[in-house]
Structure 1
Amino acid sequence: MNEKALTVFDQYNLKINSTYRIKGNYGCNVEKEKYILQEYNNSNEKMAAMKILYNYMEDKGFICDCVIENNEGNYVTISEDGYTYILKKWFNAEECNVNNEGSILAGTKKLAAFHNILRDNRELLKDVRAFHPGKNMEKVFERHNREITTIKNYIKKRKNKNFFEMSLQDIMDEYKKQAVIATDNLLKSTYASRFEEAVLMKTINHGCYNHHNILFDGEGIIMVNMSKINYAPQLQDLYDWLRKVMEKNNWNISLGNKIIEEYNKINPLNSEEYTILKIMLSYPEKFWKIINYYYNSNKAWYSEKNEEKLTQFLKQENLRHKFIENM
């Protein structure tokens, strides 16, 4: 972000005391409040829809990085050099500590509460056209499976394989099998009908609920960076949150059970949802990420980071399967 972005502040009715850099953006202080200016590459219509959602969440007691209108009543503002920005509320707060059990469980409760208030939004969002269906996990898994096959064939043809590639070759069939089984099980489950129902009911899925996007200010949790909001089964948020937290905590079974328990206290899962959650967790997502990153990176130099990630992944595998079996 260049300094010409600062001229965007002139298009808002704010008495700015000072500006500062924050995470590649510009922030400003206005009396007791803070705002952050972010580059934005979507429509004003999308942000107007977000404003409806922000207002509804705030009415329900949530704190979020609500977008601010400019002097013309728009949410998207154009700078002198043609870049587009939005201005949002900001806070003196810290990201969720993904290694702190209390913070993780508090984040889980917030996710469940968020899901509770946004399950059926046909009335709230009846005139909104800017939100769209999110990821269909059946299609995601099927695409990943094709990519695993492509990478498997690529490695097989490599003549001078390095240690990482030889390691992959030894386990590729096993993880392709796991991927296919998980995909088949998802196709046999009630997931497809749940996805259709979520789109029909305009069920809100956060789309990017992780420790970077929930902040703690000492009094509560603030939800930020919700630009990936979509219509999809809310179980997908729980899957993303649970998987990422468990990967960061060596698939700690006790912690995983507590996460599900805390979510259930506010938004109980039924037996079919448990089944779908277990199926999604059984898909070797981390394995796909590692090999996909390798395949799309520069092969001219050897990355020890890839080797480290694969080693760490394999160390956690028994615990991952044990957690899933005991859910």
Structure 2
Amino acid sequence: MMREFEIERQFDIKIEVIRPNKGIYYLKTNKGEKCLKRINFGAQKLLFVYGAKEHLIKNGFTRVDRYNLNIDGEPYALVNEDLYTLSEWIQGRECDFHNIEEVKIAAKTLAVMHEATKGYDPPENSKLKSDLGRWPHLMDKRIKSLDKMRDMTRKKSAKTGFDLNYIKSMDFYKGLAQRALQMLQDSQYISICERTEKEKSFCHHDFTYHNIILDDVNDVHVIDFDYCKREVRAYDIANFMIKVLKRVKWNIEYANAILEAYNSIIPLYPEEYRVIFAYLLFPQRFWRLANRYYYNEVNWGQNTFNNKIEGIIKEQNDYLKFVEDFKKVYDQSE
């Protein structure tokens, strides 16, 4: 095949085995086991990601899926206008978010990684990716879109199970979103963004179980930096917490364990807890699911969508209890 031939030529390798694996390809080559991935964004963004990984390695955070360079010294192959990256195949298992000890290991790793991100100047020909200062605007826009999607639903003559669940639960999630926005506006978010800008740090932006790979002695690799960007670290922490907490019925012990483990490496500033809380309050999963459904962003069946929204709605009581418990410990000012 033309693609395989071009990958071999541009990366100067010989492919012995190629096997699809969860959206990527496993390769066995004459230069070891590799991961081949087709990238769905442009070369300038990819150079930002490449530069970010190289910056981490230079700062001592070496356990990342480092890109191999092509024969021209670029971190990609160009095949029929598609970009492909090649990296080492990382051996190990995905982090188990039900296991509190592994969750603590992941939290400490996140802190070490954040420290190593500081001082990143992206390559000249790359495109700077940044969400600094954008979250009040993003939250406001998403609150408006919740209303817009409800209007779309009401106009439908034949309503699906998802539509009925959305109408029934939307006010609850809109209330959370408004509370989150108010909390962010009342926090020191902007000054935290300014500090982040000065530090020149960045976030992984998808720090979840399948990107946290543990080996037999619990050493950790962090992989897939495709979404990394300039961002306050509170975002990564809150996003990681949500990914863990939704799997353990919003058990406050896991939240405490994550924050304690993170703080044992780099202490958070007191004002960062309010920003973390705002992110935890914002119903990002509900908004994203509805957005995917009403704007046909993913090709899932009706049952899949309905099961997912019902799963989120079922969490409401556990979630509200968590919010109250979290507020008592970390935010008495609301």
> Which of 133, 139, 143 is residue 130 of structure 2 equivalent to?
133
* 1:28 corresponds to 2:27: yes
Can you list the C-alpha shifts for 1:300-323, whole angstroms capped at 9, x where unaligned? x98233332233222212222222
Quote the offset at 1:34 in angstroms.
Answer: 2.0
Provide the rounded CA distance (Å) in 1 between the counterparts of 2:165 and 2:181. 24
Residue by residue, what CA displacement relative to the aligned partner does 1:74-128 show, whole Å, maximum 9, x if unpaired?
A: 222223x44332221222222222333232222111111101222x316x55857
Say which SS state the counterpart of residue 306 (structure 1) adopts: helix
Query: C-alpha separation between the residues in 2 aligned to 1:64 and 1:302?
Result: 35
Q: Which residue of 1 aligns with 2:177?
A: 179
Per the TM alignment, residue 61 of structure 1 is displaced from its structure 2 partner at its CA by 4.2
CA deviation vs aligned residue, 1:185-224 (integer Å, no higher than 9, x gap)? 2122111232243234322111221112121222411111
Report the aligned-residue RMSD. 2.7
SS of the equivalent of 1:21 reads: strand
Match of 1:304 in 2: 303
Q: 1:75 to 1:100 in 2, by over 3 A?
A: same
Q: Secondary structure at the match of 2:210?
A: coil
Contact 1:96 1:216 (8 Å CA) reproduced = yes
**Equivalent position of 1:243 in the other structure:** 242
Q: Which residue of 2 aligns with 1:223?
A: 222
In 1, Cα distance between equivalents of 2:253 and 2:317: 15
Q: Distance between the aligned counterparts of 2:50 and 2:158, measured in 1? A: 55
After TM superposition, give the deviation of residue 47 of structure 1 in Å.
Answer: 4.4
Q: Please identify, of 204-213 and 32-41, the stretch whose mean Cα deviation from structure 2 is larger.
A: 32-41
Kindly report which structure 2 residues correspond to 1:42-191, keeping only aligned pairs within 5 A, or say none.
42-44=41-43, 46-59=45-58, 60-79=60-79, 81-118=80-117, 120-121=118-119, 125=122, 129-134=126-131, 136-191=134-189
Partner SS for 1:225:
coil
**Cα gap change, 1:13 to 1:159, in 2 (>3 Å):** closer
Q: In the TM superposition, what whole-angstrom CA distance separates every residue of 1:202-256 from its partner, at most 9, and x where no partner exists?
A: 2211122111212122241111111222111011111111111111222122222
In 2, Cα distance between equivalents of 1:194 and 1:159:
47
Give the number of aligned pairs.
319
Question: Alignment partner of 2:173: what SS?
Answer: helix
Q: Distance in 1 between matches of 2:92 and 2:186?
A: 44
Question: Structure 1 stretch 169-178 or stretch 148-157: which is displaced more?
Answer: 169-178
Shift of 1:42: 4.5
Any conservation in 1 of the 2:19–2:25 contact (CA below 8 Å)?
Answer: yes
Give the letter for the 2:230 counterpart.
Y
Uncovered stretches (5+) of structure 2, i.e. residues with no partner: 327-334
CA–CA distance in structure 1, aligned partners of residues 293 and 42 of structure 2:
34
Q: What TM-score do you get using the length of structure 2 for normalisation?
A: 0.84
TM score, norm. by length of structure 1: 0.86
Contact 2:129 2:230 in 1 (8 A): yes
Cα distance between partner residues in 2 of 1:193 and 1:326: 27
Deviations 1:14-51, CA, capped at 9 Å, x for gaps:
4x472221324443335683222222355555545544
The one-letter code matched in structure 1 to 2:168 is D
Give the whole-Å Cα distance in 2 for the aligned partners of 1:271 and 1:293.
Answer: 36
Task: Give the direction of change, closer, same or farther, for the CA distance of 1:166–1:121 in structure 2 (3 Å limit).
Answer: same
Q: Percent of aligned positions with the same letter in both sequences? A: 23
The answer for the alignment partner of 1:37 in structure 2 is 36
Tell me if the contact between 1:6 and 1:26 (Cα under 8 Å) persists in the aligned partners: no
SS at match of 2:315: helix
Task: Determine if contact 1:133/1:231 at 8 Å carries over to the other structure.
Answer: yes
Distance 1:292 1:127 in 2: 35
Question: Residues 85, 322 of structure 1: CA spacing in aligned structure 2 closer, same or farther, 3 A cutoff?
Answer: same
Match of 2:292 in 1: 293
After alignment, is 248-257 or 37-46 more displaced?
37-46
Distance across 2 between alignment mates of 1:52 and 1:268: 27
**AA of the residue aligned to 2:239:** D
